[in-house]
Structure 1
């Protein structure tokens, strides 16, 4: 007889445990590289401010450090989210009348193991011992209140639907604490068409990971950031590129830079004409309404002030602590170079053929 491998037991309608709760962080990060999690779906779709499809791809194929530092904004948000999570879960249970329990760990879809989920909490209906849905917990700024008043914004909604896709549940709850003093609770019904779209689109991305086929480089700040620190630069190294690829990009760049300069010049002309209209006045009205203001409340011109009032300038000048970059470069050139930003420079005479 041929031995058969026992399949993991379902813990949700379509979810199985692939990593236990409380796993060491490094081991958990390794598990995350075996598929796509809910927090990465928006990035894969190109809808994340902080992470691009390229960065997700590079992480999955192991070309980025396993436990690299987060963006400072994300790290701070994650810290406070983690601190508030138990409180939000408890208050959700009190206000909804539903039971809330922690999960068994990282889940994967029983048939598509690359679909991963780390669910915040599971929800039990009254009198039930088995979860019937899940709870996603968010902590957000008060400035985002309007986005949450009538539903779940796109990013968290995508993450929640991804968890529905993994677990097989028909609905989920999202509890968001806004500004630290207002809790909004939304029930999210499973949208089968959206689930199918996510599985198809993210599945194509994951196949690209398996095939080592990176996504196209986009124009996001997240991609700019990862490219700026991705490679260990070899001083003086030269890449011989395909003219058919590079020359059209250079030509397009020249067109965009020229357009950018035209816009800057035209905008300055418009601003100058408005300033001339204002003259000595701070406020300009049109039809009894304020059209624009030109007040003397901008930054101090320190050079002009110092030239006009040298004694006062000396009286109010003080030294500040600053990194001595010249000395650092001279005494520790390797460390200095390793942390320098890369600059893209295109020679003006480099015209496309």
Structure 2
């Protein structure tokens, strides 16, 4: 089944390419929807697809990934003997028009594609033996679904020194489940204008900071039932955390008493270190008193928002 060509990408700017991706779900979006992406939440993806925000363009990782893509593709050809070619197009699934694909390379003579990646040395373990990060498995299965391909290859340059390539077979059972989830996200969230539940991920927290960086000074009425349920849950968790922290502190103090003035205490299973460290810090209070001009010159002002919760007293 031949995929349709949605757009040509050869002369697109990166911003134009990002805007084109808002017209559907791409390969890197699949892992977000399926919950396998550690860098982005479904809530952020919804905001991007509905036009609220698009990915930052000035990103070193993106820049070097693009620069080194040719290097990775050439090395794949050198090591495997398989020829590859660029496909400067955004493809759309023949039956599911919300599914898009913008692949790095086709593999000549096969119904297969090549995805080129770069990563830092700290991620080496994620690529050992038969391992492939789950987010990339989702991406490749998505591409195979859109293009009706039988297999995919992925090649990665790790830390600028280690090169790995792997072959991934098409998994129709996985693809069927993935399409079901992608269709639900596209139709019941993006098209319906209903955001998915916001979660506690760093991605969601950072997005909310970007969306609402400063307050406007107004007071609004919150939906009582939902807001108070959340507030009561937060307060309950805070109480549990304080209790656990107090218990942790008690246990730490008991260990400190056992160690005394020694540096290290040992058991057959553990080592406990209670070392002495020195720390130098600037006395900002004295600096502001004695050298106010210098203190002001080197003071950097920033803004942030802090949430506090206060019980309201109701007069009977």
1:239 alignment partner, one of 220, 227, 230: 220
Q: Please name the residue that 2:298 is paired with.
A: 322
Deviations 1:37-57 (A, max 9, x none): 111222223332322111111
Q: Is the 8 A contact 1:283 1:290 kept in 2?
A: no
2:14 counterpart (18, 25, 28): 25
Q: CA deviation at 1:284?
A: 1.1
8 Å CA contact 2:44, 2:204 repeated in 1? yes
User: What is the TM-score of this pair, normalised by structure 1?
Assistant: 0.79
Aligned partners of 2:313, 2:271: CA distance in 1, in Å?
A: 45
Structure with more relative contact order (C-alpha pairs < 8 Å, separation 6 or more): 2
Cα displacement string for residues 273-298 of structure 1 (whole angstroms, at most 9, x for unaligned residues): 111111111121224x752111223x
Report the Cα distance in structure 1 between the residues aligned to 2:90 and 2:297, rounded to whole angstroms: 46
Q: Does 1:168 align with 2:144?
A: no
Evaluate the alpha carbon distance shift between residue 24 and residue 77 of structure 1 in structure 2; reply closer, same or farther with a 3 A threshold. closer
1:162 shift after superposition: 0.9
- Counterparts in 2 of 1:296 and 1:119: CA distance versus 1, 3 Å: same
Which sections of structure 1, spanning at least 5 residues, go unmatched?
Answer: 1-12, 126-130, 311-317, 326-338
Shift of 1:232: 7.2
- Distance in 2, matches of 1:30 and 1:146, equals 34
CA distance 1:258–1:30, change in 2 (3 Å): same
- From 86, 111, 124, the equivalent of 1:132 is 111
Contact 2:213 2:305 in 1 (8 A): no
Alignment coverage as a number of residue pairs: 304
Equivalent-residue separation in structure 1 for 2:200 and 2:311 (angstroms): 22
Against the structure 1 CA distance between its residues 24 and 226, is the aligned structure 2 distance closer, same or farther, given a 3 Å change threshold?
Answer: same
Cα distance between partner residues in 1 of 2:134 and 2:2: 24
Query: How far apart are residue 173 of structure 1 and its match?
Result: 0.3
**How many angstroms apart in 1 are the aligned matches of 2:9 and 2:275?**
59
Matching residue within 273, 279, 290 for 1:300: 279
Cα 1:43/1:321, change in 2 over 3 Å: farther
Query: What are the superposed Cα offsets for residues 98-124 of structure 1, whole Å, 9 maximum, x if unpaired?
Result: 011101311111222211111011111
Structure 1 residue runs of 4+, over 6 Å off?
A: 318-321
Structure 2 residues not aligned, in runs of 5+: 287-293
1:78 matched residue in structure 2: 62
